[in-house]
Amino acid sequence: MTAIKSAWSAVGGDPALLPRVSTVVRERALQARLPVRELARSCVGACALAAAELGARRAGLTEVPGVTLDDGAIATAFVSERHLLVDGRAPVVFAPLSRFWRTADGWVRTHANYPHHRAPLLAALGVAEEDPDAVGAAIAERSSLEVEEAVYAAGGLAVALRTPEEWAAHEQAAAVARRPLVEHERSDTTRARALPSLDGAPLLPAAGVRVLDLTRVIAGPVATRTLALLGADVLRVDAPQLPELADQHTDTGFGKRSTTLDLAADRRAFEELLAAADVVVTGYRPGALERFGLSARALTERRPGLIVAELSAWGAYGPWSGRRGFDSLVQAATGIAALEGATTDGPAGQPGALPAQALDHGTGYLLAAAVLRALTEQLEDGRGQGRCVRLSLARTAEWLMHGMRPGPKESPAYDAHETADAYETADAYDAPDTWLTERSSALGRLRYALPPVSFEGGPVDWARPPGVWGADPARWA
């Protein structure tokens, strides 16, 4: 089974729709030792097909529109943060203390882009100031696991570099592997609000859908950015005391509005939003939102028929379920960084990385696909039952490492008769500018990557650029 079939099956798609997908293969796009290009193509493909299916259902079309997956567009979108320019300025992707460090027995990866993560890292290491040399010296004296545990105990983020074999022996890896790529649950609650039929162009499958976006960083915001592309009214809600990094907000804020709410002090405002929402997407570690009554069960009890999409780094199960995490840390823990390490020409044991934060982006598109399929299922069953879908970066990493094989032009083992007429080989991926565009915004003149989700009659760009973080009122459009 090719990866696109696997991804489409994971979100509950009908395999009879797969012939609606065609692919433009571009060699050198997202090159890696692991099949990253196949992962990216499959996640975007599942999302685009789910969008086309929902659009056809709502517009009363007799046939689902055709989907085109272009490796060039997908590869460009998977590194959208690197292509972003704001008034000609390139963003800062990682802070100086977010990197790999040599330890007494190996390597450790830290993440300190946010001030509230940087402070506990320094405290755990006994370093008074943000001095990379001092941090490096403190880490070099300790073992990788010692740094990992000390920093996490202090509330920071650090992960020891593990080989695939070391990760496979870890209890968290076993917990992750036992779960499906996308988890699905149904509630007994049903909703009264029905989505209207669609007409006009472009075809916007999620038009009229209200999405509360309680996510941060990349994966969750990519999912909600995609839903906004498809017509949803997406309102991102952040705590006022935890501002998002400006460039990160810009890259993932297309099509959305942004507001701030203190969930303790502004509870009435949040409940009013929830009462009219169709979808809630959460991206905090499991348990973090439960103290505010924002578990999937609590949300669907208060808003019958709600679709809840939950995203985490390590999964909602196992000993690491309550830990914070990011793509780079998951790559380090699961053996991906070890596999993608330097060649024999580089330093021995030097860890590497995927050519994109592919766990984040891939999981984001899968999450959007799962939401779109849940909306389609609600229309089809006629009752509008509530649903919860759940994904994790660690489970996507498991799929990348063990659940897929290369596609056409990537491996002689590929069965050319399986979907040969759906594939086309184009020029090599040498011109990402083909999939970039520019526009003005309240944040300045933006150069950015165009969306890779493409189907006949669908949108080609977001209806609105990102705005100022937290500047919008806490109400639906």
For the chain, the maximum distance between any two Cα atoms, rounded to a whole number of angstroms, is: 66
Both tokens of 369, joined, read 């696909």
Both tokens of 111, joined, read 């993440």
Q: Which helix (H) or strand (E) holds 77?
A: helix 71-78
340 vs 161, 163, 218, 402, CA distance in Å?
Answer: 12, 11, 21, 15
Which own/partner contact pairs does 422-425 have at CB distance under 8 Å and 24+ positions apart?
Answer: 422/19, 422/21, 422/22, 422/23, 423/22, 423/23, 423/25, 424/22, 424/23, 424/24, 424/25, 425/24, 425/25, 425/26, 425/27
Question: In angstroms, rounded to a whole number, what is the distance separating the alpha carbons of residues 42 and 118?
Answer: 35
* DSSP string computed for 173-220: HHHHHTS-SSEEEEEEEE----PPP--SSS--TTTT-EEEEE--TTHH
Three-state secondary structure call for residue 448? strand
- Contact present, 244 and 215 (Cβ < 8 Å): no
Question: In angstroms, rounded to a whole number, what is the distance separating the alpha carbons of residues 290 and 244?
Answer: 21
Question: In angstroms, rounded to a whole number, what is the distance separating the alpha carbons of residues 129 and 224?
Answer: 36
**Within a 13 Å sphere around the CA of 167, how many CA atoms are in the beta-carbon half?**
28
Helices 393-402, 327-334: axis angle to 10 degrees equals 50
191: left (phi over 0), alpha (psi -120 to 50) or beta: beta
121 vs 94, 323, 378, CA distance in Å?
Answer: 15, 15, 45
Query: Residue type for 331, please?
Result: Q
User: Is 472 among the residues known to form the active site?
Assistant: no
Work out the angle at residue 415's Cα, subtended by the Cα atoms of residues 370 and 52, and round it to the nearest 5 degrees: 30
DSSP 35: -
Both tokens of 370, joined, read 């799962």
Out of 360, 421, 461, 472, which one is annotated catalytic? 360
> Any idea of the CA torsion for 314, 316, 317, 323, to the nearest 10 degrees?
50
- The structure tokens 């109400």 sit at 475
Active site positions, annotated: 360
